Structure 1
Amino acid sequence: MRVLLSLILLVMMVVSSAISEEKLLDKIVLVVNGKPVLKSEIELAKEWYGVKSDKEAAKKLIDQIILAQAAEKVGIHATPTEVDNAILRLARMNRLGSVNEFKKRLEERGLVFSLFKDLIKREIVISKFVHIYLKRNLFEGIEEGKAVDLRKIRLIYLDKSKPGFNEKYEILKKLVNKEPFDKLAKEYSDDPVTAEKGGLLGEVKKGDLVKTLDKPIWEHKVGDIFEIDTDKGVYFIKIESEEKKIVHQEPTGEEVNKKLQKEVELYLKKLKENAVVEYIDKSLEG
């Protein structure tokens, strides 16, 4: 799976594509965990992933959306600057002088620039997700780099859109400071990736997570359990420990990439077991 943006950029060939120049009539063809997917996004995915069939493009897009949603649930984000810089690199790779030229070229081919930005944002978020969740834990690396403060975080996420939210919230309010946090996470958390690990997000440094989570995590002290309310859900956070560590340089190479790809596939499989995908266009199913 091409989850690292640097690898994905090498295969993106927008200028030489053969997409019809006739502007697409947009309609919703899929819904992935509540997120509508448009026909134009399928066309964009065909271009991005280099596949010919709508069904194959839909499969890859579903995987991308599910992974990005999992990352966002635990506070991983991509800044507008990161997205803009990635698109600028793409423009230059395609021998275009600016993002505006790149945007114009996309729109000439019937592709929606705002949807393209969303796709790039998801790729960046997934790349960070892989690094924080998987690569740091899979490989010890070598002791090179600088010392940084890392906090070990556990979380319980309650999705406001899911049935039973109020009941689970009231239960956790009563028990979160009395019962083992990892046990409560396994039983009540709506984030399947961290739930099976007792809510363990892993070690994070300042700036790793979205500001809504990052700021209070570094304002509280080790041992604190606290609540963060957002539009989409409620987080119960536990700061388990803090250490100053050398940021390791992870090993690279074909063998490492194979291990990482396998780990991503296992995570995605677990996420898909809990995902809800509705096929409005039945030809994309299967």
Structure 2
Amino acid sequence: MINKKILGLSGVILAIAVAVALFFLLDNKVATVNGEKISKTDLNEALLSQYGATALDTLITDKIVLQEMKKEKVKISDDEIADEMVNYMDAYGGEDEFKEVIKDSGVEISTIEQNIMIYLGTKKLIEPRIDIKEEDIQSYFDENKASFAQAEEIEASHILLEDEDTAKEVLKKLKDDGDFAKLAKEYSTDTATNEKGGELGFFSKGEMAEEFEKTAFDMEIDEISDPVKTDYGYHIIKVTNKKEAAEAKLDDVKEEIKDTLLESKLETEYTVWLNEKFEEYEIKTFLKD
């Protein structure tokens, strides 16, 4: 399947396996157990038996893709690789988490970039074979219309206090023209938002504590609430924006649906395309059983 996560995983497995093998091949003796040696030959055989066929399949497939890219004059720019790298980082929870995984695995960034280049090249080779029809888009929209609808949302900030007395003190400062963001930084016990002036961003119903939500959705823009008690403490809420609920419109989500259908069809078409190439190319393997 042409799945970037699968392609990424296979590339990482291959890189780690090769790195381990090369590291241990520096010395004929790779380990001892009660003085009995485990040799590099033992290790090589174990790696080949467990990963050899899979790793070779990956290398053969990558070679086919690269030759096809050259034949069809398919180019992948540095900007395209950088954009896709951001998606990889997001999948791992952000840039810092991604770098930590890379550091721990010992895989070079250049290996990931090469893997991304092959993935994007494969997409460009296969996409011309896929035709997304208008009726396909309409059908998908009709079946998933509810998921595209805009739920009612509000944007708000809050100051979280441990006790009611402190909450009343802060509220008084706000009524005396105190700056909400500054007071959030000074007083709020919510460490995830206090440095951002208490900003919570947009949210819909069902995402916040019931008492918090009931108050916030009844407020007007720029209105500041009295202290609201939840299990977390006492909140002072300020609503900063609203989005009304709206029914989904096909024109607004057409490109999103097209991309979704394209990704789905790529999964299937990749298998067909690759089987064709395996038939077309002269491939010889020399791994011993």
Radius of gyration: which is bigger?
Answer: 2
Q: TM-score range by the shorter chain?
A: 0.3 to 0.5
* TM superposition score normalised by structure 1: 0.39
